[in-house]
């Protein structure tokens, strides 16, 4: 089933959202991320996407204890990203109750790490493809990498990566619309499931993303502002039918 996945971005111990990944354009939505996680889980979210924004820039976990508290507090699985750049950190998250770890910077700079983690637990690894104008960005989206989104997907697919998360940074937190054209190309470029993120502003966007062949969508700001109601999004997801032609399109 197509999944609606609420985002919980943590910075300084609080639940925040950034506009287009810009740390200087932050909105604080709640001082208690654990309470937020409980709220989304109680409302029917099938899983939660948690990001340690501090760790994404620092390169090592900063809010790991808080994330562990979230994992203990909710009955739904977590996927966690931000600063996961060693096997030890990935293992610590898994052992702490996190179902999936999300690798972004590491996927660009340490393919060997991705390969080892995929060998250890292939279904518990997600590679984040965070792109601006088609070029991947790393270090909490603060630096451009010398690789395109499609090139990174090809490399990671060859290593056996079984799931991707694609974010169009220019749309993230903007409440405009998802970049369905870029998403469709990326979905067509790999046999692995793709989760979409960035730009969702209304329930109709959920159906558009499902029609691209994506496995699910992460929604952040729109849920916090009320532009998207989680119950309505879940209902739309239940009726959304991915387009079987999406994966046969030219990448």
Taking only the tens place, the pLDDT of each residue in 7-28 is 999 999 999 977 766 677 778 8
- Contact between 78 and 100 under an 8 Å Cβ cutoff? The reply is yes
Share of the chain above pLDDT 70, in %: 92
Please give the domain boundaries of the chain with CATH numbers for all domains.
3-248 (3.20.20.70)
Taking residues 178-201, report their average pLDDT. 94
Nearest CA to 7 out of 172, 213, 204 is that of: 172
CB neighbour burial string for 216-241, b if at least 16 within 10 angstroms, e if fewer: bbbbbbbbbeeebebeebbebbeebe
Lowest mean pLDDT of 69-73, 133-137, 138-142, 201-205, name the range.
138-142
- Contact between 243 and 56 under an 8 Å Cβ cutoff? The reply is no
Question: In the prediction, which pLDDT does 105 show?
Answer: 92
The two three-digit tokens of residue 32, written as one number: 């208690």
Is residue 248 over pLDDT 70? no
Give the residue numbers marked as catalytic: 9, 130
Mean pLDDT for the chain? 91
Cα–chain-centroid distance for residue 108?
16
- Within the chain, residue ranges assigned H as helices are 33-42, 53-58, 64-73, 87-95, 105-109, 111-120, 149-158, 180-188, 203-211, 221-225, 230-239
Question: In the prediction, which pLDDT does 25 show?
Answer: 74
Taking only the tens place, the pLDDT of each residue in 38-63 is 999 999 999 999 999 999 888 899 99
Is residue 251 over pLDDT 50? no
CA distances from 13 to 29, 51, 53, 163 (A): 12, 11, 10, 28
Nearest CA to 5 out of 223, 243, 202 is that of: 223
């Amino acid at each position: 089933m197509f999944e609606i996945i609420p985002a919980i971005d943590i910075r300084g111990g609080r639940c925040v959202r950034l506009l287009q990944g810009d740390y200087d354009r932050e909105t604080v939505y709640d001082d208690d991320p654990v309470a937020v996680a409980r709220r989304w889980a109680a409302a029917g979210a099938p899983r939660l996407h948690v990001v340690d924004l501090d760790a994404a820039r620092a390169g090592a976990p900063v809010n790991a204890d808080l994330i562990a508290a979230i994992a203990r507090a909710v009955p739904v699985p977590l996927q966690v990203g931000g600063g996961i750049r060693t096997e030890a950190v990935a293992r610590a998250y898994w052992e702490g109750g996190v179902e999936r770890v999300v690798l972004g910077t590491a996927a660009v700079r340490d393919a060997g790490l991705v390969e080892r983690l995929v060998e250890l637990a292939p279904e518990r690894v997600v590679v984040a493809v965070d792109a601006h104008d088609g070029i991947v960005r790393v270090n909490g989206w603060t630096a451009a990498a010398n690789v395109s989104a499609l090139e990174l997907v090809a490399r990671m697919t060859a290593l056996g990566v079984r799931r991707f998360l694609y974010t169009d940074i220019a749309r993230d937190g903007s409440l405009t619309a998802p970049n369905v054209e870029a998403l469709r190309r990326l979905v067509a470029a790999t046999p692995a499931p793709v989760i979409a993120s960035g730009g969702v502003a209304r329930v109709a966007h959920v159906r558009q993303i499902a029609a691209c062949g994506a496995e699910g969508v992460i929604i952040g700001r729109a849920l916090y502002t009320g532009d998207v109601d989680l119950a309505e999004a879940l209902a739309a997801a239940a009726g959304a039918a991915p387009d079987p032609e999406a994966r046969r399109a030219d990448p």
